[in-house]
Amino acid sequence: MRPRSEGKSRANLLEKLPGFRFDALTVTGIDNSRAVGRFGDGILEQEVCLFHERTASGDDYMTMLGERVSRAMKERSGMPVVRFADGEYAFYRGSLRCNGLYEQAESAEAIRKAIPAHAEDIRYVAGTGILAPLVFPGNIGPVRRKFPAFWKRAGDDGAAFFLEFLRGHGVLPGGRIYVPFYVVYAYLTSRAFAGAVDGRKVCILNADIDVASCAAWFAALSSRPSLVPVPIPASYVATRWDSMRDEVLRAVPQDVDLCLVGAGVGALRVCADIGRRFSIPALDAGHALNMMNDMEKKSDGARLYTDHR
């Protein structure tokens, strides 16, 4: 039986998101056992996530994402796909807890100054692409007040905060602009994605790029894209992108078909500007890109929805 507070948190969140529900994210052929072995059984609570009423299953989300990526490549239209999870939730709260595996922000003041540009880019993504926040019963609250002058978290409310942050900046998640966080990982590590980019020019923007490993990863899925490496700084892309943008984007070929981006919290800004400047899909690849680079340990081991049987 679910704790009463958890059921109340779900109800409160869904009241603000008409047309959404919580459901189990099942993707055909996915095996999450390695991630469970790495993080323990508790990670399985993230298999229950937010669904839109027009989407019946994880397979439907995979199909929708794949169709939109393929269409954007064919039509040359900007389509950023950006994931949001604990690091982003902390960043938009102004907290240096966003600095986990990677350095995202130098100070709370740097975050404060960066928020308006991030909000503008989120609105751009909502208008042209896909937002993929991690929303599951374990990160929507509740927050319980203990004393009048103090408060204590009885749960993680990062996703609930982020959804309010979106609302405060004029963005309301809907069926067309949302996919669950892990669907992006499942798609990027699938044969469907490898097939979609076979023979295409794909630009990889990341601090570490092993082109030979990436080529071997795609070849194992019978795909041979033309891979173009574009190095970007390992730190502070989220707060310093304006000073990096021109140098980084000058290295991106004009005829590129799709970009894969690894930039932590800064991936939003990079993906948005790629969409604007090159009119192509730009996908926030994160851990999937580390897998392609044969650097899975860089993001602390196996993740859910990245192992296909």
Q: Over range 269-296, report the average pLDDT.
A: 96
Q: Over range 193-220, report the average pLDDT.
A: 97
Asked if residues 70 and 204 have their Cβ atoms less than 8 Å apart, the reply is: no
Give 143's pLDDT tier (boundaries 50, 70, 90). low
Q: For 165-176, how does the pLDDT look when each residue is reduced to its tens digit (9 = 90+)?
A: 999 999 988 889
Give 3's pLDDT tier (boundaries 50, 70, 90). low
Helix axes 267-278, 237-250, angle to 10 degrees: 30
Arithmetic mean of pLDDT over the chain: 92
Asked if residues 196 and 148 have their Cβ atoms less than 8 Å apart, the reply is: no
**What pLDDT, on a 0 to 100 scale, did the predictor assign at position 145?**
45
Asked if residues 9 and 137 have their Cβ atoms less than 8 Å apart, the reply is: yes
Give 125's pLDDT tier (boundaries 50, 70, 90). very high
Distances (CA, A) of 191 to 17, 140, 183, 218, 239: 33, 33, 14, 9, 35
Question: What span, in angstroms and rounded, lies between the C-alpha atoms of 165 and 204?
Answer: 30
- What the block records as the tokens of 74 is 């064919």
Q: What is the DSSP-derived secondary structure letter of residue 286?
A: T
Q: Over range 139-163, report the average pLDDT.
A: 68
Q: For 14-64, how does the pLDDT look when each residue is reduced to its tens digit (9 = 90+)?
A: 888 989 999 999 999 999 999 999 999 999 999 999 999 999 999 999 999
- What the block records as the tokens of 295 is 């650097």
**What pLDDT, on a 0 to 100 scale, did the predictor assign at position 256?**
98
Task: Look up the pTM and report it.
Answer: 0.93
233: left (phi over 0), alpha (psi -120 to 50) or beta: beta
**Is the torsion defined by CA of 130, 136, 138, 141 positive or negative?**
positive
**DSSP labels for 213-268?**
HHHHHHHTTT---EEEEEE--SS-HHHHHHHHHHHHHHTS-TT--EEEE--GGGHH
Q: For 96-108, how does the pLDDT look when each residue is reduced to its tens digit (9 = 90+)?
A: 999 988 899 999 9
Question: What span, in angstroms and rounded, lies between the C-alpha atoms of 43 and 32?
Answer: 10
With 60 as the cut, is the pLDDT of residue 251 above it? yes
Taking Cα atoms as reference points, which of 281, 57, 301, 120 lies closest to residue 188?
281
List strand residue ranges (DSSP E) for the chain, in order: 20-24, 48-52, 79-84, 130-133, 143-147, 150-153, 201-206, 226-231, 258-261, 281-284
Give 155's pLDDT tier (boundaries 50, 70, 90). low
Between the two ends of the chain, the Cα-to-Cα distance in Å is 32
**What pLDDT, on a 0 to 100 scale, did the predictor assign at position 15?**
87
**What pLDDT, on a 0 to 100 scale, did the predictor assign at position 182?**
98
**What pLDDT, on a 0 to 100 scale, did the predictor assign at position 221?**
97
With 70 as the cut, is the pLDDT of residue 4 above it? no
Question: What span, in angstroms and rounded, lies between the C-alpha atoms of 180 and 23?
Answer: 11
**Is the torsion defined by CA of 139, 303, 238, 51 positive or negative?**
negative
Q: 3-class SS at 148?
A: coil
Residues 6+ apart with CB under 8 A from 309: 29, 30, 31
Distances (CA, A) of 59 to 18, 62, 191, 259: 22, 5, 13, 23
Question: What span, in angstroms and rounded, lies between the C-alpha atoms of 90 and 265?
Answer: 10
With 60 as the cut, is the pLDDT of residue 238 above it? yes
Q: For 53-91, how does the pLDDT look when each residue is reduced to its tens digit (9 = 90+)?
A: 999 999 999 999 999 999 999 999 999 999 999 999 999
With 60 as the cut, is the pLDDT of residue 149 above it? no
Q: Over range 185-209, report the average pLDDT.
A: 97
| Location of structure tokens 């960066």 | 114
